[in-house]
Chains A and B, each alone.
Chain A
Amino acid sequence: MADSDSHLKSLDYSVLQQCMHCGMCLPTCPTYDATRLERNSPRGRIALMRAIADGELEATRTFAEEMYFCLGCLACMTACPADVNYAELFEHARAEAEKSGELKSVKRRLIRGVTLEWLFMDLRRLRGLGRLMRLYQQSGLQTLIRRSGVLRLLPKRMRELEAMTPTIEKAFSGRLISPLTPPRGQKRYRVAVLTGCAQDLVFSSVNRDTVTVLSRNGCEVVTPAQQGCCGSLHAHNGEWEYAQTLARRQIDQFPPGEYDAIISNAAGCGSHLKHFSKLLADDPDYCEASKEWDSKLKDVHEWLVEIGFESPKVNGSAMETQHVTYHEACHLCHGQQIFKAPRTVLKGIPNLELTELAESTWCCGSAGIYNLIQPEMATDLLHRKVGHIRKTGADVVATGNPGCLLQIINGLENEPRSYRVVHPVTLLAEAYRREKTDVVSEGAETLQPASVGHEVAQ
């Protein structure tokens, strides 16, 4: 591989050098915690990246595997005293791993081709697949097949994956939300809502709830039915060029100059969406726009607190107390350094009791598609998370990322008591809907019945 092709060799060396290997990242790294091997730690991985940049090591298969053993939870960035940009290093390292071809196999090539290069490059395809899955699930076919026992013929891993298949929503965001939702009361801001990909298929109600709470707080909300993927999946999986293409499309669809804020409600996307200027730094046509984009991109909790969201005007005592605990999505707390805002949102809801979760910032194992490619580590992390949830005594788990929602729903499935796992904005939206005046509020979102969230069956 020529040097110019090496992501790590052409990277600004000072980013690597910034790591002073003090070890402060070690106690926060879930993989190091599990193995106690330096190779599985942030400073160890950076040492390997640096060895490649220095020409002391080739991008070997072991290196490539190591980069995919990392969860990319970015807990190390919160702990780092020297402000090392691990997120950037990690994406370049995975790109290096892909370029090396060390992990190539027919199966892997096929999976990546179908998902990264086909399904997620044009979300109409993904929604098409979603409709097929919905048909399969709602027609009763899934129940029939599951009961028939035919699944036992599948290899163990396939059976596990089948059981994890998420339930597809009855309607996607395009049908739940009108392209332009007027503000309730006086217009204070004009914002766009990004509906995402997994979010749109499995949690379109969260998108609808996001629009509800924004509109309720004086935002005119633009939500086009047809949206693209933000590319975070591609960037996190070493597909740099695809990520760039998708970033350009986002900026084209939502010219940042036209909005006061561009809202993401999926932490994993948000933490990628806020760094388009790094991704497009060498593109003269998008360089400036991407900087403006980054400054306008807001996580929904962050924005609600910034504009001073109103507490729902409901008779709290008439509502049943909700016992809630909050799991922090890695890419919200570590990736975007947003710790307080979601709690402020939750505490703004009448009659909601928030109990802190032990190790709330420790990864739940979802980590994008990590639970699919590293099931063992992901399951260990999930069990650890579920153990902490049990101890809170709460029966509602709130978290701001679709991956975490899915993972925790799966984790709580076999618990003796039933839990509800929701996005914080859903709880806020529900409280707003209880406001008397809510009955007359405009906008397509009120045409739909109130969200029931995702109940985890006993």
Chain B
Amino acid sequence: MPLSDALIERLQQIVGKENVLAEAEDLIPYSFDGTAALRQRPDCVAFVRTPEEVADVLKLGNETGTPIVTRGAGTGLSGGSLPSKEAIVMCTVHMNQILELDRANLTLLAEPGATTQAVAKAAEEAGLFYPPDPGSMKISTIGGNVAENSGGLRGLKYGVTRNYVMGMEVVLPTGEITWLGNKCVKDVAGYSLKDLFVGSEGTLGVITKVLLRLIPRPRAKRTMVATFARMDQAAEAVSAIIADHIIPCTLEFLDRTTIHCVEDYAQIGLPLDCEALLLMETDGHPAVVEEEAEEMQRICRENHCKEVRVAQDAQEATRLASARRSAFSALARVCPTTILEDATVPRSELAEMVRFVERVAKRYELKIGTFGHMGDGNLHPTFLTNEKNADEMHRVEEAFKEIFEEAIRLGGSITGEHGVGLAKKPFLPRFVGDTSMHVMRQFRQTLDPNAILNPGKIFD
């Protein structure tokens, strides 16, 4: 049953008439996020500007039993911000101010709708560094990043969003506004509730302010690209680098299919007879960076790389990195539908996992290009398909199942950085087990007794 006029009127009273959308032409563009093949039209969209407005909207949801889905820029890749049925989409893009940069404590306070890029830029202008760099950072919001615990290319050395969240203001599903965490590096008072909200995908509350930790900017960086005839060799090189006590800030790979697509698209001059391309970067103190770069080259050669190239200047570094940077673009233009997955395995199992994906692609007659973060075991098997082809989509689903099962079998995870949302929901119970599911359910029920926040996401 669609939302009643009376409810929409009350919503207008809370946020202002001009901040509520309810016409088809306005709503259709909110029927999706960045996830392929998922669509659900919301009943209305409301733009909030203050924590108090958020609280009032949530109270209205509780009173009327109306589902509320929080949305930032809508770039998520698991359907976390996809509207639930007959839902109010509550959009935070107008709450986009950077409120404070504390140079003494190295923290930054931002509203949830500030873009990741704006946060990174504000940090940079102060000579500081906010490392998480999800692919959509030019437009993704920091609130969305915290809710999904986004990753990026620098996970191995710098961690993910969670490692930078020191505190937050949240509005609980029942409308209470509260602060979790603070600027203290050391704080062991009570449960670390903020950590429960990081990655909660909009199910436990609505984040209205984020307090982030910043670090000093690394002074130097070296970029290298190595190619290997076999994926095993690349994986062994990566293991050897880490065993040598070097933690590079970037260790990214492309598989054969991706290398071919990138070369078709960008004509960089990549060798087509190799199974793996490694993009490696080390950053930090200039002297250390030089030494580590030398070591990494030596290790690549010892592990039989075909070629290793070191960028001589920033321009060349950009050029070398462009192969990895254009990977997704190169794959996305091949077919009408591109489905980006993020199965993750322990680093030691990565070569095995890549080979498994190749076998699955062959068996189901699918085109899958794999690239991703070799340093942290986070793969992006990318399905190149067509959602209009029902038969092929069925095979895609079957292939997914096998890939996730294999990831679990190898001690990995069903999602490394995109979140569960709707896309991974069916796989979650088997991955975490009954007890964990029970605890999560209890917890969610306690905070959201009327089940109004993002219902149907992560688990029912």
Q: How far is the CA of A6 from the CA of B308 in the complex (A)?
A: 54
Q: Which residue of B lies closest to A66 (CB)?
A: B25
Is A446 part of the binding interface, using a Cβ–Cβ cutoff of 8 Å? no
B190 within 8 A of A: no
Of B36, B74, B333, which one neighbours A23 at CB under 8 angstroms? Answer: B74
State the Cβ distance, A386 to closest chain B Cβ, in Å: 23
B18-52 vs A, CB cutoff 8 Å, 1 = contact: the mask equals: 00010111101111111010000000000100000
Contact B139 A27 (CB under 8 A): yes
If A17-B388, A82-B333 touch, whether A22 touches B136 (CB-CB below 8 Å) is: yes
Cβ contacts A24-44/B at 8 Å (1 or 0 each)? 101100000000111101011
> B93, B140, B336: which contacts A17 (Cβ < 8 A)?
B336
A51 CA / B329 CA spacing, docked (Å): 25
Q: Does B257 contact A (CB under 8 A)?
A: no
Known A20-B36, A22-B136, A60-B25; contact A36-B74, beta-carbon cutoff 8 A: no
User: A112–B205 Cα gap in the complex (Å)?
Assistant: 53
Distance of B256 from chain A, by nearest CB (Å): 21
CA distance A23 to B75 in the complex (A): 6
B33 touches A24 (CB 8 A): no
Task: Output the nearest chain A residue to B387 by Cβ-Cβ distance.
Answer: A17
**Is B23 in contact with A81, judged by CB distance below 8 angstroms?**
no
Task: Evaluate contact between B23 and A62: CB separation under 8 angstroms.
Answer: yes
Complex interface: chain B residues within 8 A of A43 (CB)? 29
Are B29 and A82 in touch, CB under 8 angstroms? no
The B interface, classified by DSSP as helix, strand, loop or mixed, is loop
Q: How far is the CA of A83 from the CA of B338 in the complex (A)?
A: 12
Tell me whether A13 is interfacial, beta carbon within 8 Å. yes
Chain A residue at minimal CB-CB distance from B339: A20
Report yes or no: A36 in contact with B94, Cβ–Cβ below 8 A: yes
Which of the residues A13, A18, A48, A51 comes within 8 Å of B388, measured between beta carbons? A13
Whether B333 lies near A27 (C-beta < 8 A) is: no
Q: A14-B336, A82-B338 are in contact. Are A21 and B24 (CB under 8 A)?
A: no
Least CB separation from B45: chain A residue: A38
Kindly report which residue of chain A lies nearest to residue B34, judged by CB atoms. Answer: A22
Contact B93 A36 (CB under 8 A): yes
Chain B residues closer than 8 Å to A23, beta-carbon distance: 33-34, 73-75, 136, 139-140
Cβ of B328 under 8 Å from chain A: yes
The one of A24, A36, A39, A83 in contact with B26, judged by C-beta atoms closer than 8 angstroms, is A39
Specify which chain B residues have a CB less than 8 angstroms from the CB of A36 in the assembled complex.
Answer: 47, 93-94
**A/B pair count, beta carbons within 8 Å:** 84
| Residues of the A chain whose Cβ atoms lie less than 8 Å from the Cβ of B386 | 14, 17
> Do B73 and A57 touch (CB < 8 A)?
no
Q: Mark A41-74, 1 if CB is under 8 A from B, else 0.
A: 1011101100100001100101100100000000
Q: Which chain A residue shows the least CB distance to B75?
A: A23
If A17-B387, A20-B34, A36-B94 touch, whether A62 touches B73 (CB-CB below 8 Å) is no
**B29 to chain A: which residues have CB within 8 Å?**
37-39, 41, 43-45, 47-48
Question: Bound state CA distance, A56 and B40, in angstroms?
Answer: 13
Q: How far is the CA of A44 from the CA of B32 in the complex (A)?
A: 10
Q: Mark A163-204, 1 if CB is under 8 A from B, else 0.
A: 000000000000000000000000000000000000000000
- Contact status A18-B336, CB under 8 Å: yes
Question: Chain B interface residue count: which class?
Answer: 35 or more
List of B residues within 8 angstroms of A45 by Cβ = 29
- Residues A20 and B23 in contact, CB atoms below 8 Å apart: no
Closest partner residue, chain B, to A16 (CB atom): B336
Pairwise interchain contact B338-A47, C-beta atoms closer than 8 A: no
Cβ of B115 within 8 Å of any chain A Cβ, yes or no, is yes
For B23, the chain A residues whose CB sits under 8 A away are 62
> Given the complex, which residues of A lie within 8 Å of B139, measured CB to CB?
23-24, 26-27
B337 at the interface (CB under 8 A from A): yes
Most B-side CB within 10 Å, residue of A38, A44, A60? A38
B332 & A20 in contact (Cβ 8 Å cutoff): yes
Query: Which residues of chain A come closer than 8 Å to B438, judged between CB atoms?
Result: none
- Chain B nearest CB, measured from A451 CB (Å): 37
User: What does the 1/0 interface line of B93-124 toward A look like (CB < 8 Å)?
Assistant: 11000000000000000000001010000000
Complex CA–CA separation, A63 to B26 (angstroms):
10
Q: At the interface, yes or no: B138 with Cβ under 8 Å from chain A?
A: yes
Q: Which residues of B contact A39 (CB under 8 A)?
A: 25-26, 29
Per-residue interface assignment for chain B, residues 123 to 153, with 1 indicating a CB less than 8 Å from any chain A CB and 0 otherwise: 0000000000000101110000000000000
Q: Are B73 and A20 in contact (CB under 8 A)?
A: no
- The answer to whether B75 and A62 have CB atoms under 8 Å apart is no
Which residue of B has the minimal Cβ distance to A61? Answer: B25
Tell me the bound Cα distance from A43 to B23 in angstroms.
18
- Provide the bound-state CA to CA distance between A236 and B25, in Å: 22
Q: How far is the CB of A271 from chain B (nearest CB, A)?
A: 20
- Minimum C-beta distance from B329 to chain A (A): 4
Complex interface: chain A residues within 8 A of B338 (CB): 20, 82
Q: Compute how far the CA of A212 lies from the CA of B140 in the bound complex, rounded to whole angstroms.
A: 49
Could you say which residues of chain A place their CB within 8 Å of the CB of B34? 20-23
Hey, which chain B residues are within 8 Å of A63, CB to CB? 25
- Alpha-carbon separation in the docked complex, A41 to B34 (Å): 14
- Bound CA span A27–B114, Å: 12
Distance of B79 from chain A, by nearest CB (Å): 12
Among B28, B33, B140, B328, the residue within 8 A (CB) of A57 is B28
Residue in A22, A27, A57 whose CB lies within 8 Å of B25: A57
For the complex, what is the distance from the CA of A18 to the CA of B388, rounded to whole Å? 12
29 contacts between A and B (CB under 8 A): A13-B388, A17-B336, A17-B337, A17-B387, A18-B336, A20-B337, A21-B34, A23-B33, A23-B75, A23-B140, A24-B138, A24-B139, A26-B139, A27-B115, A27-B139, A36-B93, A36-B94, A37-B26, A38-B29, A38-B30, A47-B28, A47-B29, A48-B28, A51-B28, A57-B25, A62-B25, A81-B329, A81-B333, A82-B333
4 pairs of A and B residues whose beta carbons are closest in the complex:
A44-B29, A38-B29, A81-B329, A83-B333
Not counting A44-B29, A48-B29, a sample of 9 additional A-B residue pairs whose C-beta atoms are within 8 angstroms of each other reads A17-B386, A21-B32, A21-B33, A21-B74, A23-B75, A36-B94, A47-B31, A48-B25, A66-B25
